[in-house]
Chain A
Amino acid sequence: MFLRMPQPFHRQPGTFTLIGLACVAATSAQAQVSGSAGLVSDYLYRGISLSSGKPAARFSLDVDGAGGWFGGGQVVSGQLAQQSHRNAQWLGYGGYAQRLPSGLSWEAGMSAYAFHGAPSWNFREAFVGLAFDNYSARLHYSPDYLGFGDRTVYAELNGGAALPAGWRFFWRGGFLAALNHAINSRAEARIGVATAVEGWQLQLSLDAARLRGQGGGNGSYEAPPASSKVRSKTVLGLARSF
């Protein structure tokens, strides 16, 4: 079995406590539980493969409370470049979201990532976001991104539109600014189409990332480039949502 039980979540007990509180707040009588389970041909996280370019399984859960609190989590069978086999990569998050009379929504929350077999990668983030219609923007701040010792701000813009015959077009643009080591900053983008039929989701996307320098800075990423370089990859995902 390559999905091993997680090690203790080092470095972020406070974050997980806060996330747990958000989940408890969300788990009211009106709580709505949704999620998905599926496979992706490559687990790309902000333009970087966290599954060594291999297919990965993913299970995610989301809980919404009536008061605006939300929480959730995800586990992915990832494989870091330094690892010889797949390991569980965990994500927990919680926060509060509210829709304003104007139709604009805002959110604020925290997330924590834990990597089985590589606890030094564990990190946490705080995020704030705005959404309107089919567009959203989010800022994530991490005091120690992936354990590199880098403070980072990740900005993302997401959008989408319905296409004929039940298909949907979506896109994302993101920029990770490494505040201590600008050379680790990178831009990434995603564009794709998706459809959902009776609870099944199919997504096909083209993901691209432009790395400015030594990739992950400490060489943790797969084959870091020596200079600025754009990489792209087509990713296929199939999931059952519930």
Chain B
Amino acid sequence: MKPGVFLVLWLMAALAAWPGAQASAQAAAHAATEPARTAVQPAAGAAEILVMLHLPAPHFRADGYSGASYRDDAGRQARQRIAQALAREHGMRLMEDWPMPALNVDCFRMRLASGQDPAAILAALSRDGRVAWAQSIQDFNAQGGAGAATAGDPLYRVQPAAAPWQLEQLRKSATGRKVLVAVIDSGVEAGHPDLAGQVALQENFVDGQSYVAEEHGTAVAGVIAARADNGIGIAGIAPEARLMALRACWQADGGTRCNSFTLAKALNFALLHNAQVINLSLSGPQDRLLQQLVGVAQARGIRVVGAIDPARGDGGFPANSPGVFAVAADDTPRHGAQCLQAPGRDVPTTMPGARWGMVSGSSYAAAHVSGMLALIGELKPQLSGERLHEGIVRSSGPAPLTGIDLCATIMRITGKCSCACPNPSTDNLARSP
């Protein structure tokens, strides 16, 4: 054999035995096998943080190598070595990573040793030149609850939006056809008879768990896009919209929980797969990673809808972010001038197990607005988010049960009356793109 071949074989063997390379391979393998319970609910006293490393833009490489996807680009091993070194230096455990090209970062989830102070570690990491930035993993909660389930009788007549929003009339001109709505929530029952064929894509972002159908996600999906005119159950606000069912939340302790990391992965996915509306029927504290992802979504013209948490003065994140369609239930006080109100009390919708049930909360009010934005997205896809916000007509009169006057809103935006418009506005945005 030629000496050069020996040289390369020696190099390959040396690289194979390189501790850093092995460590990164072990980290990757470890991340792939980490049990769901520990990933979602860290052991008592063991906090988790997110460490962002710079993710270079793709460029010319001599070996022409590029990975199989954005999750496996050519420089991933280099970043894993750095993350492994950071974990070692600070006594942390590297759990997994998730590149987020939209933010130019590769996000590493790390678990602190029991008793370690997250604030001290974050402060140290913020001074480390290898780290773009770091933050703690925060908890978020869905903003709605389920009521009693009922049998599968047609429920359209009891949908609070049915009559005021004149959904039957509106469906003659808009159904949300082909508009892609990302439902970032708990699992959606895609096989539910009222949702059959409505879910175009589903993914699980809750670590180590498989995708399961859950109450909150299924209920939100039904409000947005349940099938219409199928003789059963309810009609979604946008029955021909297509859903991207992204499971970033999970049912726990009678509620529905999510965290910064699972939500960030789902938002990243929605960005990469061209969602036109992102429904976030959840709320939590301010979060840098999520804030940046929402900002990128808005910059790309994606409508982001957030549910207001009535218990938080500012409505909580993401509803308190500029440009986000912040929605409260129409039986609660309005949070600020920009807040929208939509049906959010005793809303009949889809439930797991091919059932239907009554639900209440701003989660479902947000879902109504996501459906509405899908209708408008079909009619006026290029309208800027700001003008769209301006164009929404709030209900007036003695009993503004639904908060938003959908017919007047659509007339104002499209210039056409699709239903009996009681309050036609001359100030329309129909000439906007």
Contact = CB atoms under 8 A, between A and B. Distances in A.
Given A34-B78, A240-B12, A242-B18, A201 B65 contact: yes
A199 B16 contact: yes
Contact of A138 (B60, B77, B82, B104): B60
Contact of B4 (A35, A77, A127): A77
B7 interface: yes
B123 interface: no
B101 interface: yes
Interface stretch (B50-58, B208-216, B342-350, B367-375): B50-58
A68 B57 contact: yes
A153 B20 CA distance: 40
B68 A95 contact: no
B101 A99 contact: yes
B89 interface: no
A41 interface: no
Interface in A165-190: 166-168, 170
A103 B3 CA distance: 45
A86 B4 contact: yes
A115 interface: no
Nearest to A32: B78
Contacts of B101: 99, 103
A154 B426 CA distance: 57
Contacts of B79: 32
A28 interface: yes
Q: For the complex, would chain A's binding face be called helix, strand, loop or mixed by DSSP majority?
A: strand
Contact of B74 (A34, A39, A101, A136): A34
A64 B60 CA distance: 11
A80 to B, nearest CB: 16
A59 B11 contact: yes
Interface string B384-419: 000000000000000000000000000000000000
Interface string B48-76: 00000110111111110111111010110
Interface residues of B, number: 52
Interface string A94-123: 010111011101110101000000000000
B132 A66 contact: yes
Contacts of B131: 30
Contacts of A55: 5
A147 interface: no
A216 interface: no
Contact of B5 (A57, A66, A107): A57
A58 to B, nearest CB: 7
A231 to B, nearest CB: 20
Nearest to B128: A29
Contact of A64 (B16, B56, B299): B56
Contacts of A12: none
B25 interface: yes
Contacts of A25: none
B75 A62 contact: yes
A106 B60 CA distance: 11
B300 interface: yes
A197 B72 CA distance: 11
A157 interface: no
A74 interface: yes
B8 A38 contact: yes
A101 B62 contact: no
Contact of A136 (B12, B54, B58, B72): B58
Contacts of A73: 62
Interface in B358-381: none
A90 to B, nearest CB: 10
A152 to B, nearest CB: 17
Contact of A36 (B57, B63, B70): B63
A64 to B, nearest CB: 4
Interface string A149-170: 0000000001010110011101
A84 interface: no
Given A32-B78, A32-B79, A34-B78, A101 B18 contact: no
B163 interface: no
A169 to B, nearest CB: 9
- Between A1, A158, A199, the greatest number of chain B beta carbons within 10 A of the residue's beta carbon is seen for A199
A191 to B, nearest CB: 13
A3 B77 CA distance: 28
Interface string B28-56: 11000000000000000000000001101
Contacts of A167: 68
Given A64-B56, A93-B62, A99 B74 contact: no
A129 B59 contact: yes
Nearest to A88: B4
Nearest to A162: B68
B130 interface: yes
Interface of B: 2-5, 7-8, 11-12, 15-16, 18, 20-21, 24-25, 28-29, 53-54, 56-63, 65-70, 72, 74-75, 77-79, 82, 101-102, 104, 129-132, 271-272, 296, 299-300
Top-5 shortest CB links A-B: A29-B129, A74-B62, A57-B8, A32-B78, A97-B59
18 contacts: A2-B3, A29-B129, A30-B54, A37-B11, A37-B12, A59-B11, A62-B62, A91-B62, A93-B60, A95-B60, A101-B296, A129-B59, A129-B60, A134-B66, A167-B68, A168-B67, A168-B68, A196-B68
Given A3-B7, A60-B63, A131-B57, 15 more contacts: A30-B129, A36-B63, A37-B11, A37-B15, A38-B12, A58-B63, A59-B11, A60-B61, A102-B300, A103-B272, A107-B58, A134-B69, A201-B65, A241-B77, A242-B21
